[in-house]
Structure formats: C-alpha cells, structure tokens
Amino acid sequence: MRNIRLLIEYDGTNYAGWQWQKNDVTIQETLAKAIERVIQEKVTICGAGRTDSGVHAIGQVANFKTNSNISSERLIHAVNFYLPHDITVKDAVDAPESFHAQYAAIAKVYRYTLFNDWIRTSLNSNFCYICGFQLDIEKMTEAAGYIVGTHDFTSFTTKAVQEKNRIRTVKKLDIIKDGKYIYFTIEADGFLYNMVRTIVGTLIEVGRGKISAGDIKGILDVKKRKLAGPTVPARGLCLIEVKY
C-alpha cells in the first residue's frame, strides 16, 4: 500500500476549518471527496495542522494511504480537476509507510498579516486584519523577545482546559513592516488553540501602548487568559510551512 504525502494551499474563507465536521463544509472533507473520485477508494486524510474556520494555508501537509497505482503527477492534476478553485494540491509524493503528517512534524510556521491603516483595503480583505491604530513596531519587537523560548502558554489560548500540556517552544517570532502591511511570522514546535492569534492580539496592544513590553513575562508567568490581549480574526492567519 502506498502512502501519499500532499502539499496543499487553500483560501479558508468559505470553510469551517480543516477538520471534518458533521454539519459544515471543511477542507479535509472536500479534499477527501476529490481524491476518492480519482482513485475510487475511500481514504482517510491526515493533516499536519487543524487550521480553524477562515484560516488559510500555502504549506499545509497531509497524507493518505491507497492501493491505487496512479502516478503522483497524474494524481495532482486529476484531484485538482475535482477541487474547487480555493483549494489546490501543489505537490504529491510517495512517502515512507510510517510517515504521518501530524505526528512526524517537528515545527510549524504561521504568518499573520495586519493591514495598518485607518482606511480599509478591499482587494485583500479576506487575507488580513485591518487595524487603524498607530503601532510602535520597536515596542512590539521588544515584547516578541519575551515570547520566544519555552513557556507555558496558558495565557495565550482560549481552550486551556482541553490541553494537558500547555508548554510550547517558540523558535522564532519576527515582525516586519512593509508599507501599510505588518507581517508576524512565528515558528514553534506546536501551537495551542488560538495561540498565534492571541499572541498577535497582545502584541498589537503593546504597539498601542495598552500593555508594556515588559509585561509579557508576567502575563506568561501568571497563566491567566484575561491578562493577554484579544484574539485577532482568523482571516489574517496563514499556515506557511510544516517542518519535518
């Protein structure tokens, strides 16, 4: 039996996230149905990250097992034929039988896009959060330094009770301003529910002067969600890469 590894990109605007749900359309379900039409087999799609409703990806990884002998190149074209235009399989390769997209991952990279202007943008509105406040990038970068490292991120998740182990290692957190856009790129060995969006929301509060950069350490230490900033909207978040 073959184990096929996929690289997928999608616009998550019209989907209730990655993971299969009973009463909503999801990326996982839509992808599985397209694959099944091509290979004429039932498949179980395992994704590297369970992106939430409205979250996008250019580097989602998934795998499935099949008895089909269709070549990887033909599989890409055939599956994309049956997929809607907001989901695309970018690559497909045969992987070792033991490969699992989620459990084999050692790190994930997300990017959050902020449009920093008091006049909204229409052309890119599904892929960024529009924030009109003046933001101090230097203070935000200083605050980001406290988040990098190994910490208990209870204060930065909205479902802490569901995660027994809330310790994660943030390997990188870069903030880059390019014109009216501000990009937050964060790499970690794993993420809690809404962790990236809450970190960004907290850094925005630092940039506004509502929270000082030095307060971040105390927010981490106290392990109380109410002390961190708001959870920013899903539309600005994109899964960039999964590392193995």
Q: DSSP of 155-218, one letter per residue?
A: GG-S-GGG-S--EEEEEEEEEEEETTEEEEEEEES---TTHHHHHHHHHHHHHHTSS-TTHHHH
Cβ pair 146, 152 in contact under 8 A: no
Burial of residue 19 (CB within 10 Å: 0-12, 13-18, 19+) is middle
- Give this prediction's pTM: 0.95
For residues 72 and 95, give the distance between their C-alpha atoms in angstroms, rounded to a whole number.
Answer: 11
Q: Was domain 2-95 assigned CATH 3.90.1150.10?
A: no
Instruction: Give the pLDDT of residue 161.
Output: 60
Q: What is the largest CA-CA distance in the chain?
A: 59
**Which residue is associated with the tokens 């409205």?**
54
Helix, strand or coil for residue 35? helix
Catalytic (active-site) positions:
52
**Please, which residues have CB within 8 angstroms of residue 74's CB and are 6 or more apart in sequence?**
none
Helix, strand or coil for residue 84? coil
Is the pLDDT at 126 greater than 70, yes or no? yes
> pLDDT, tens digit, for every residue of 78-117?
999 999 999 999 999 999 999 999 999 999 999 999 999 9
What is the share, in percent, of the chain residues with pLDDT greater than 70? 99
Element (DSSP H or E) covering residue 90 = strand 87-95
Is the pLDDT at 209 greater than 90, yes or no? yes
Is the pLDDT at 159 greater than 90, yes or no? no
User: Mean pLDDT lowest for which of 11-15, 162-166, 200-204?
Assistant: 162-166
Is the pLDDT at 162 greater than 90, yes or no? no
Of 76, 12, 1, 85, residue with least CA distance to 50:
12
Instruction: Give the pLDDT of residue 22.
Output: 87
Domain ranges of the chain: 2-95, 107-243
82: amino acid identity, one letter:
Y
Instruction: Give the pLDDT of residue 69.
Output: 95
Of 2, 4, 58, 60, residue with least CA distance to 28:
60
For residues 144 and 131, give the distance between their C-alpha atoms in angstroms, rounded to a whole number.
Answer: 19
Of 113, 85, 62, residue with least CA distance to 14:
85
Copy the structure tokens of residue 88: 């695309």
Instruction: Give the pLDDT of residue 13.
Output: 97
Is the pLDDT at 237 greater than 80, yes or no? yes
Is the pLDDT at 194 greater than 70, yes or no? yes
* CATH of 107-243 given 3.30.230.10, 3.40.50.620, 3.30.950.10, 3.30.70.660: 3.30.70.660
Helix, strand or coil for residue 39? helix
The pLDDT-based confidence of 164 (bands split at 50, 70, 90) is confident
